[in-house]
Chain A
Amino acid sequence: MSSAKRHGKARQGRRGLHLVLVALAATIAALVAASSTRADAQDPSGADLYAQNCAGCHQAGGVGIEGTFPPLASNPAVADPAYVGGVITNGKSGPLEVLGVQYDSVMAPVAGLSADQVEAISEYVSGLAGGDETTTSTTVATEAPTGGDADRGRDLFIGAKRTSEGTSACASCHTAGDIGNLGGSSLGPDLTDVYAKLGGEAGLSAWLTNPPAPTMTPIFGDHPLTEAEIADLVAYLAEAPNDDEPSDQIDWLLLIGFIGAVVLFAGMAVAWRGMRRTYVETLRSAR
């Protein structure tokens, strides 16, 4: 084949490639445009996003819960949207003083938000900073569901009873005081002293109403716990740290396992006597 011919062919190929690239670019552009317009059309406002993702702890209107979840309303620190955005994406922990009250707890990064959504929330929250009608609301927020039953809560925690929405039991990720090493899981944090950490009944209830942790949001977002369930769980978790004796369940398990094995082998020795004896062995031994 001559070099001219080969050259011609290559050029032809390149022209084809151009066409393909142009078509591809056009398609992508169209798709991006379509998706962005759709996103615009459907994006909830900053207020809606706040209600979905933040109000569980910081309460509607950002009044917070005194001693547990710092208020956002009238809080000068949140006037800066960039600061708020940083806290949403990175979380925040450690001692903090807001409006003369000391706080010391952990806020996990809020999962599943796009940059646009974070921005929208930040705008909304920074708007609350100068709020004026909010200072009295804290007392309302502390009125959490009460009268839960610790035993029912324990059942829910370990999965003996299903939640109304069928979500997985707490013990599949967490452990707590008397569940012991055998009952709970070490995937999530130990919840033994979560009651104290989150500021008691009000804080814990608020947390459970709309769990903001990145791994819990996808689970409980669409399948929330009912108020009664939350009350039961809170009642249980409030008692859990009181039971701080070391668990003796492992010793029990060892003992039961050992006795079980002895019984099993003894049963096999009796029931399966001669089970694998060959026919020839039977004849010889009968002789």
Chain B
Amino acid sequence: MKVRAQMSMLFHMDKCIGCHTCSVACKNLWTDRDGAEYMWWNNVETRPGTGYPTGWEDQDHYKGGWKRDNKGRLKLTLHSKGGGVAKAFYNPSLPELEDYYDPFTFRYGDLFGAPQGKHQPTAIPVSKITGKPMEINTGPNWDDDLGGSDIFAANDLSMNGVDESVRAQMEEIERVVFNYLPRICNHCLNPACVAACPSGAIYKRGEDGVVLVNEDKCRGWRMCVSGCPYKKVYYNWDSGKSEKCILCFPRMETGQAPACAHSCVGRIRYMGVMLYDADQIEAVGSLPDDELLDAQLNMILDPNDPEVIAAARLAGIDDDWLDAARRSPVYRFVKEWGMAFPLHPEFRTEAMMFYVPPLSPVMSVIEDDLIKLDLPDERQDFELLEELEKARLPLEYLANLFTIGDVEPIKRVLRTMLAVRTFKRRQSVDGTLDDATLEMLADLDLTPFKAEQIYRLTTTPTMDDRFVFPPYHREMSLEELGDPIKAKGGMGFGYRRGPERGA
């Protein structure tokens, strides 16, 4: 057992309202620069949709992530070693700017400088890259802007396996369903971007598992861009280097939550330390699809287990971190309550950001014209549990996103969330717990105490409940490298220095 620590984020999708505050906070902090206009290290996708960049989940086209070959070995989808050399100067699997979007602004001066005339002046859209007038036909969240267009939303790969009649209904006007999928870099345990980089410029740092690009070593081959199945490494056309989400490590090192999590209006984001067994990375990655999800979740170790604690100390993880791991809200959602899954585990990069799948209103789709659910009011709570197949957001769809097509784990999570709701309603509205409610909890392996805990961490968590950061002890590493007094009065970041250019 080789214990390592990972800073993980959890997205409670049931709480996400799709306001994009996280994206804007991230953009203002990190990507408001030349060459980075089109990058959204954090983005929120309106689903169903093809996301950003368009169709990023289609690995037949983009060739991201890992695949299991015939002999059960783990291989990069992008290329073999020889193939990588052959395609060094020509990589057809790269997303192009049109697949992201041409970043635009408006010529606001037109509004003020237009001569007097019959019509109201308009601000012409101009490209932020070329500065020339352009026609806007894609954007960073076009599915939302177009309300689920028949080009984009209809091509959502995660809709595969959803019944045709359900799909037809979902595309009808006034019955369109949305949910929101916030995405950042998954800071994977087995990152394909790291494996694909010919310059060895990308690395997963030891203390907290943040995956970073060394801007001085990056030579702009862009293999990471196609290697990452989540398309979360971006090429900066101005510096000629790749850039990606850094999980706001300068903020975490000073005890602050990353900008996206900190600014989250719906408070859907949780962060905490996860301990995992690094010895299992390759073995888990090469398992067949149906064993992959469980095995990946099993890599995460129990921070209360004395054996794990001993092994962690041996691996140089200090007690502050172990303590933080024991208090981690992400650990509770993922392991204690089994309510969260990584996004697309079939990409085999062992993503370490987790998602609680969202509930949605139930509606019957069996009868063509029926929109409302025809259920007796007094039994509705319990009926809902059994009618999950009729949820407006199809179970198969969520299963394609999080559990490699297996609906059972999704059902269990949705039932748990419904059961907690029912339990709290009985408790606070009726004032008593009837036997049926207790039985329902017991069926889902919940006790009233556990249900109460889930309720509290879901609905009324404080900042300290949501974000549990261990002390990074940067002052210690600083002392090892030099005299910390020299940094006194500085801003802590040193001087800004442009990256070296050229191959």
Q: Chain A residues near B98 (CB, 8 Å)? A: 278, 280-281
Q: Chain A residues near B151 (CB, 8 Å)? A: 283-284, 287
Say whether A252 faces chain B, with CB atoms less than 8 Å apart.
no
**A6 → B minimal CB distance (Å):** 44
Q: Chain A residues near B138 (CB, 8 Å)? A: 280
**B234 → A minimal CB distance (Å):** 16
Known contacts A284-B151, A287-B150, A287-B151; decide if A279 and B55 are in contact (CB<8 Å).
yes
Q: Measured between alpha carbons, how far is A275 from B94 in the docked complex, in Å?
A: 11
Q: Chain A residues near B99 (CB, 8 Å)? A: 278-280
Q: Measured between alpha carbons, how far is A222 from B50 in the docked complex, in Å?
A: 73
Interface magnitude class on chain A: 10 to 19
Known contacts A287-B150, A287-B151; decide if A280 and B54 are in contact (CB<8 Å).
yes
Say whether A42 faces chain B, with CB atoms less than 8 Å apart.
no
Say whether A282 faces chain B, with CB atoms less than 8 Å apart.
yes
Q: Measured between alpha carbons, how far is A282 from B62 in the docked complex, in Å?
A: 13
A275 touches B150 (CB 8 A): no
B92 touches A279 (CB 8 A): no
Classify the secondary structure of B's interface with A: loop
Q: In the complex, how many residue pairs between chain A and chain B have their CB atoms under 8 Å apart?
A: 33
Say whether B409 faces chain A, with CB atoms less than 8 Å apart.
no
Bitwise interface map of A from 250 to 284 toward B, beta carbon under 8 Å scored 1, else 0: 00000000000000000000000001101111111
CB contacts under 8 Å to A, within B159-175, are none
Q: Measured between alpha carbons, how far is A278 from B138 in the docked complex, in Å?
A: 13
Say whether B96 faces chain A, with CB atoms less than 8 Å apart.
yes
Closest residue of chain A to B155 (Cβ to Cβ) is A283
CB contacts under 8 Å to A, within B44-89, are 50, 53-55, 58, 61-62
**B330 → A minimal CB distance (Å):** 32
A279 touches B61 (CB 8 A): yes
Closest residue of chain B to A282 (Cβ to Cβ) is B61
Please pick, from A276, A279, A287, the residue contacting B54 in the complex, using a CB distance under 8 A. Answer: A279
Q: Chain B residues near A278 (CB, 8 Å)? A: 54, 95-96, 98-99
Q: Chain A residues near B50 (CB, 8 Å)? A: 279, 283
Closest residue of chain A to B93 (Cβ to Cβ) is A275
Bitwise interface map of B from 145 to 159 toward A, beta carbon under 8 Å scored 1, else 0: 000001110010000
Closest residue of chain B to A272 (Cβ to Cβ) is B92
Q: Measured between alpha carbons, how far is A287 from B61 in the docked complex, in Å?
A: 18
Bitwise interface map of A from 58 to 84 toward B, beta carbon under 8 Å scored 1, else 0: 000000000000000000000000000
Known contacts A276-B92, A278-B98; decide if A283 and B55 are in contact (CB<8 Å).
yes
**A278 → B minimal CB distance (Å):** 5
Q: Measured between alpha carbons, how far is A279 from B155 in the docked complex, in Å?
A: 11
Closest residue of chain B to A286 (Cβ to Cβ) is B155
**B158 → A minimal CB distance (Å):** 15
A283 touches B92 (CB 8 A): no
Q: Chain A residues near B155 (CB, 8 Å)? A: 283
**B61 → A minimal CB distance (Å):** 6
**B136 → A minimal CB distance (Å):** 13
**A267 → B minimal CB distance (Å):** 16
Closest residue of chain B to A276 (Cβ to Cβ) is B92
From A276, A283, A284, residue with most partner B Cβ within 10 Å: A283
Q: Chain B residues near A287 (CB, 8 Å)? A: 150-151
CB contacts under 8 Å to B, within A85-133, are none
Q: Chain A residues near B54 (CB, 8 Å)? A: 278-280, 283
A-B contact pairs, 29 of them (CB 8 A): A276-B92, A276-B96, A278-B54, A278-B95, A278-B96, A278-B98, A278-B99, A279-B50, A279-B53, A279-B54, A279-B58, A279-B62, A279-B95, A279-B99, A280-B54, A280-B55, A280-B98, A280-B99, A280-B138, A281-B98, A282-B61, A283-B54, A283-B55, A283-B151, A283-B152, A283-B155, A284-B151, A287-B150, A287-B151
Query: What 12 new A-B contacts, CB under 8 Å, besides A279-B54, A279-B99, A283-B151?
Result: A275-B92, A279-B53, A279-B55, A279-B95, A280-B98, A282-B61, A283-B50, A283-B152, A283-B155, A284-B151, A287-B150, A287-B151
- B residues in contact (CB < 8 Å) with A: 50, 53-55, 58, 61-62, 92, 95-96, 98-99, 138, 150-152, 155
Q: Closest 4 A-B residue pairs measured CB to CB?
A: A279-B55, A278-B98, A278-B96, A279-B54
- A residues in contact (CB < 8 Å) with B: 275-276, 278-284, 287
